[in-house]
Amino acid sequence: MRTVRCWAAVTAVIAPSCAALAGEAPFGLAWGPVATVPRPLKVGREANLTALHYPRGWRPAVGPETAEVVLVVCREEGLQQVVWVGLPLAGDAFARARQAIRDEGVRRYGEPDPGPSPGSEVWPGGGALLATREVGDGRRELVMTTFGPGYAACSAAHRAATGHPAGAHVADLIGHDGP
Confidence of residue 9 (pLDDT cuts 50, 70, 90): very low
Burial class (CB in 10 A: 0-12, 13-18, 19+), 110: exposed
Task: Tell me the pLDDT of the chain averaged across its residues.
Answer: 85
pLDDT of res. 174:
74
Cα–Cα distances in angstroms (integers) from residue 151 to residues 14, 47, 65, 73, 74, in the given order: 9, 15, 27, 10, 8
pLDDT of res. 176:
52
Distance between CA atoms of residues 19 and 125, nearest Å:
10
Name the more confident of 175 and 100: 100
Confidence of residue 23 (pLDDT cuts 50, 70, 90): low
Cα–Cα distances in angstroms (integers) from residue 134 to residues 39, 94, 139, 170, in the given order: 28, 12, 6, 14
Mean pLDDT value across residues 55-73: 95
Name the more confident of 18 and 48: 48
Mean pLDDT value across residues 116-129: 88
Domains of the chain, by residue range, sit at 41-174
Distance between CA atoms of residues 175 and 134, nearest Å:
8
pLDDT of res. 3:
36
Name the more confident of 33 and 14: 33
104 three-class SS: helix
pLDDT of res. 124:
83
Are the C-beta atoms of residues 42 and 53 closer than 8 Å to each other? yes
> What sign does the CA torsion over 166, 32, 67, 48 have?
positive
Give the least confident one: 16-20, 93-97, 106-110, 113-117: 16-20
